[in-house]
Amino acid sequence: MRESPCYTDEWKRSCPDFAVYLPRHFVGPDTDNVHFLVIVTPGGDLLGFWTQATHESADNSCVVCARSGDGGNTWSIPYEIDGPSDKRYHTAFYAFPVVSSTGRIYGIYKKHTGIIDLSSNLTSIMCCRYSDDDGRTWSDPAELPFKRAAQLGCLCQSGARFQGAPDRAIYPLGQPNN
């Protein structure tokens, strides 16, 4: 675990309890850090997941993860879970982690495939990677199929949903059309 150097001390002004990640440059590939979620792993570590990019919806947007073994006092340098492939705009974003009763950790996120309707971060598929070793290594990505609404309008896949518990549907983004 090591702290990444930050380009400024301005972040100290708010006296945060924890600093998970500090951008190295005023403008750079790690400037935008959003949608931060943390889980406790079965082994007791903290895993933080977020979207990192040069700016919102940039063509280098990726899902990253960092680990803390001391309750959040120090964090590893983030590593990429998924991001742009060899094709421009094939980005990843908005991950949410889930820990199953078996201890498997799932990272579910949106993956852009190159089709742009309203915005690249709205026209995407849902993907998943999983880890059976406390979040140290991850499976290859797999697409999560889900029913798409009949009339999607300009938001393309925003009406999509997949079934969670028997009485609940999970909506990745936007509002259902029915």
The CATH number given to whatever domain includes residue 72 is: 2.120.10.10
Neighbour tally for 100: CB within 10 Å: 10
Rounded to whole angstroms, the maximal C-alpha distance in the chain is: 50
Question: What's the pLDDT tens digit per position in 47-106?
Answer: 999 999 888 878 888 899 999 999 999 999 999 999 886 566 688 889 999 999 999 999
Residue range of the domain that includes 162: 148-178
pLDDT confidence of residue 120: 64
Give tens-digit pLDDT for 113-141. 777 666 666 678 889 999 999 999 999 99
Q: Round to whole Å and give the CA distance between 21 and 4.
A: 7
* 73 in any annotated domain: yes
108 plus 134 within the same structural domain: yes
How many CA within 13 A on the CB side of residue 152? 17
**131-159 average pLDDT score:** 72
Q: In one letter, which amino acid is 170?
A: I
Domain-embedded: residue 1? no
Query: Does one domain contain both 50 and 130?
Result: yes
Question: Are the CB atoms for 129 and 136 separated by under 8 Å?
Answer: no
Tell how many helices (H) and how many strands (E) occur in the chain.
0, 10
Neighbours of 123 (CB within 10 A): 20
Q: Say whether both 120 and 168 belong to one domain.
A: no
Joined together, the tokens standing for residue 52 give 């990192």
Q: How many domains does the chain have?
A: 2
126 shares a domain with 101: yes
End-to-end CA distance of the chain: 48
| One domain, residues 104 and 132 | yes
What torsion, rounded to 10 degrees, do the Cα atoms 14, 18, 20, 22 define?
30
Question: Do 154 and 131 lie in a common domain?
Answer: no
- Token pair 């290594």: residue: 137
Residue 78, in any domain of the structure:
yes
Quote the radius of gyration of the chain (alpha carbons, Å): 17
pLDDT of res. 86: 57
